[in-house]
Amino acid sequence: MRTLQGYMGRYLRIDLSSGKIAVEPLDEVLRQMYLGGYGVGVRILYEEMAPKEDPLGEGNILAFFTGPLTGTPALIGSRYAVMAKSPKSGGWGDANSGGYFGPSLKFAGFDGVVFRGKAPSPVYLVVQDGRAELRDAKALWGKNVYETEAGIAAKHGAGVHTVSIGIAGEERSYLAAIMSDGGRAAARSGLGAVMGSKRLKAVAVQGSMDVPIADRNRLLKLRSAYIAAASEQRFYRGLQEYGTCADTARKILVGDAPVRNWAGAGSVEFAAEKAEGLSGSSVTAFQKRRWACYQCPIACGGILSVKRAELRPVPQTTDSHKPEYETLAMLGSNLLNDNVEAVIDVNNICNDYGLDTISLGATLAFAIESFERGLISEEETDGIHLRWGDAEQLVTLAEMTAGRKGFGAILADGIEQAVAQLGIDDEYGMHVGGEEVPAHDPRLTPDLATTYLLNATPARHTQGSELHQPPGLVLPLDRAKAHSKLANLAHVVNAAGLCLFGYLAFDIDSLPAQIGAVTGLEASLDDLDVIGMRIETMRHMYNLREGHNPLNRSFPNRLAGIPPLEKGPLSGRTVDYMRNAREYLRLIGWDTSTAIPSDKSVRDLGLDFLIGDLQQLRATSSPAAFSDR
């Protein structure tokens, strides 16, 4: 077995309880079987974490891992993954982000960092050119992200890149994100709360080491060729001009984006003139300059400058990162809000406090509808009369939620926890397995329902589905086979350290070609499909061991069109998502009631060590008792 390139070949182990730091080699078998990112991470956590650990306890492991393409000229190798047991779902949790932290971690000499335990007092980790040290963070504790990043830069130099939590993470809000570069968010799964529970304020990295590449000249030629070809595509040009908000207005009108907590139709309740208020041109009207992640030719990000006149008592000018499509939809049409300045303002609040904008928008929509239907009153909301489309109220509620103040303390842990605290029906809560649903509608894209229900991290739009079809990819006509291929390739993308746009904007051949040029692993798409299925199985096994059968997750009736909408582009549509899910499970050799993989399915993936765990699961598991709502 030859050594793959693209790796620094080692990772850090940090025991926060004792302060001990160790360097571990990144095993070559892990590289070959799982590539990197959460592929490597899930194998480590599965083997080293005891089942049933408290997600906010000392026994949870928090890990950051890059992929082999991270920090290379690959298109677009800027990503890192963070993973732990999720306080939201109670099972496997991961999140993914771009920017400069992932590449800089490799330049500092390491592929990843694994944290155990809980620090006696707040700390941050500094990693510089192969050296690592825990520093006192008491002076940073109680500060938000912007101030934290500035404080660390002032101490360690402008070339340092950090991941950090704001006050939301310190307060262990289940909506807390892990932030970098002032506006890049590893937002889902509530992992900012895990970081806060460990009293880990930040990880700061800085380095000058080179990432070894098997064939740099080949990689650079591939990069040039694929960029030249992609520059003719509408998708690529739209991202360059507007970023992910390019198609926001269209997505609202065709039924992809949520309207009024998924109960409305864009063309009816949020028609063209309102949708235009959230369009790419409406957002970029405030843009000062474009912003790009490491080595990215697209530069879909942007820095905005907005003078506040209406939404705050004192007018101010604030520079902030451009809101993404998800943010615009979840805080815009989902709340019947067409005030783009309010969305920009709330996005800025979330970036500073470290909060997931998707879950915030979903939780606010749940609260407004529950208030409207008389399930909660002004007594619970601190006298606030919740209403749709109120831009000023949106900003107020965002600040309250981010800081766990008043009614915001009830909202700060998301829909499932709010339902429990309020003691009300969660019929109007749009979540799957505790994770709030993102801004893409399964009634428009039915395969999404399979992803939302079955993925190890439920309700995720960045996992494989019909949304993710790169140019040149030929899919099987069979629905289950097509879903399997899309799911597995998305795992490869995430494990390799690529941005999804680097997958969707360039021909599918770019994926194996770039992996080959960087690592020396000459793998076909079929070979990569196997790696993706291996990662899928490991994440799923983590959940099964925690007692989580995805078929037992409740699924919002609205997302399945039960009852169907009566008006708009999705009128009359329903999705038989349980049938689709079971077709997929049958195809991959997992039981259609317990979701337990067959012995053959894991042996075919080289995961024979799981056989004993499978036997134990079969002896203790019950068939799914499926319920919808």
SS (H, E, C) 315-370: CEEEEEECCCHHHHHHHCHHHCCCCHHHHHHHHHHHHHHCECHHHHHHHHHHHHHH
Instruction: Name the helix (H) or strand (E) containing 301.
Output: strand 301-308
Q: Which two tokens stand for residue 597?
A: 């993989």
**Rounded Cα–Cα distance for residues 484 and 589 (Å):** 12
Give 152-206 as a DSSP string: HHHHH-TT-EEEE--HHHHTT-TTB-EEETTTEEE-GGGHHHHHHHTTEEEEEEE
Long-range contacts of 262-265 (CB under 8 A, 24+ apart): 262/334, 262/365, 262/430, 262/437, 262/441, 262/556, 262/558, 262/559, 263/369, 263/558, 264/336, 264/568, 265/565, 265/567, 265/568, 265/569, 265/570, 265/571
Would you place residue 314 in the very low, low, confident or very high pLDDT band (cuts 50, 70, 90)?
very low
Tell me what percent of the residues of the chain surpass a pLDDT of 70.
97
Place 205 in a pLDDT band, splitting at 50, 70 and 90.
very high
Tell me the one-letter amino acid at 506. Answer: F
Amino acid making up residue 608: D
Count Cβ atoms within 10 A of the Cβ of residue 455 and give its class: 0-12 exposed, 13-18 middle, 19 or more buried.
buried
Residue 315 pLDDT greater than 80, yes or no:
no
Helices (H) and strands (E) in the chain, counts: 26, 17
Q: Give the mean pLDDT of 140-162.
A: 96
pLDDT of amino acid 287: 95
pLDDT category at 1 given cuts 50, 70, 90 is low
Please answer whether residues 492 and 511 qualify as being in contact, where contact means their C-beta atoms are separated by less than 8 angstroms. Answer: yes
Rg (CA), the chain: 23
Instruction: Look at domain 10-206 and name its CATH class.
Output: alpha beta
Of 483, 479, 470, the residue nearest 533 (C-alpha) = 483
- What are the φ and ψ backbone dihedral angles of 161, each rounded to 5 degrees? -125, 140
Could you please state the CATH topology (level 3) that the domain comprising 243-436 is classified under.
1.10.569
Say yes or no to pLDDT of 334 above 70: yes
Encoding tokens for residue 281?
């041109």
**Confidence band for 310, pLDDT divided at 50, 70 and 90:** low
Q: Which of the following CATH numbers is that of domain 447-470+472-505+524-620: 1.10.599.10, 3.40.50.720, 1.10.1040.10, 3.40.50.150? A: 1.10.599.10
Distance between CA 57 and CA 482 in Å, rounded? 39
Q: State how beta strands 184-186 and 301-308 pair.
A: unpaired
What integer pLDDT is reported at residue 232 of this predicted model? 86
**Residue 46 and residue 49: Cα distance in Å, rounded?**
6
SS3 277: coil
Identify whether the C-beta of residue 487 lies closer than 8 Å to the C-beta of residue 501.
no
Q: How confident is the model at residue 124 (pLDDT cuts 50, 70, 90)?
A: very high
Give the bridge partners for 436, in sequence order.
431
Res 316: pLDDT: 52
256-306 pLDDT, tens digit each: 999 999 999 999 999 999 999 999 999 999 999 999 999 999 999 999 998
Q: How confident is the model at residue 423 (pLDDT cuts 50, 70, 90)?
A: very high
Cα separation of 342 and 332, whole Å?
9
Rounded to 5 degrees, φ, ψ at 418 are -65, -40
Q: How much is the pLDDT for 319?
A: 86
Q: Name the phi and psi angles at 301, rounded to 5.
A: -80, 175
Averaged pLDDT score across all residues of the chain: 95
Q: Decide if pLDDT at 454 tops 70.
A: yes
What was the pLDDT predicted at 627? 46
Q: How confident is the model at residue 629 (pLDDT cuts 50, 70, 90)?
A: very low
pLDDT, position 158: 84
234 pLDDT exceeds 70? yes
Residue 313: band (very low, low, confident or very high) from pLDDT cuts 50, 70, 90:
very low
Taking only the tens place, the pLDDT of each residue in 335-380 is 999 999 999 999 999 999 999 999 999 999 999 999 999 999 999 9
Return d(Cα 479, Cα 612) in angstroms, integer. Answer: 32
| Residue 628: per-residue pLDDT | 47
Mean pLDDT check: name the lowest of 196-205, 225-234, 436-445.
225-234
Name, in order, each residue with C-beta under 8 angstroms of 610's C-beta and a sequence gap of 6 or more. Answer: 537, 541, 597, 602
Compute the distance between CA of residue 516 and CA of residue 469 in angstroms, rounded to an integer.
21
Percent of the chain residues past pLDDT 90, beyond the cut = 93
This prediction's pTM: 0.97
For residue 218, give the H/E element and its range. Answer: helix 216-230
Q: What share of the chain is helix, strand, coil (3-state, %, to 5)?
A: 40, 15, 45
> Is the predicted pLDDT of residue 561 greater than 80, yes or no?
yes
Give the SS3 label for residue 119: coil
Q: What residue ranges do the domains of the chain occupy? A: 10-206, 243-436, 447-470+472-505+524-620
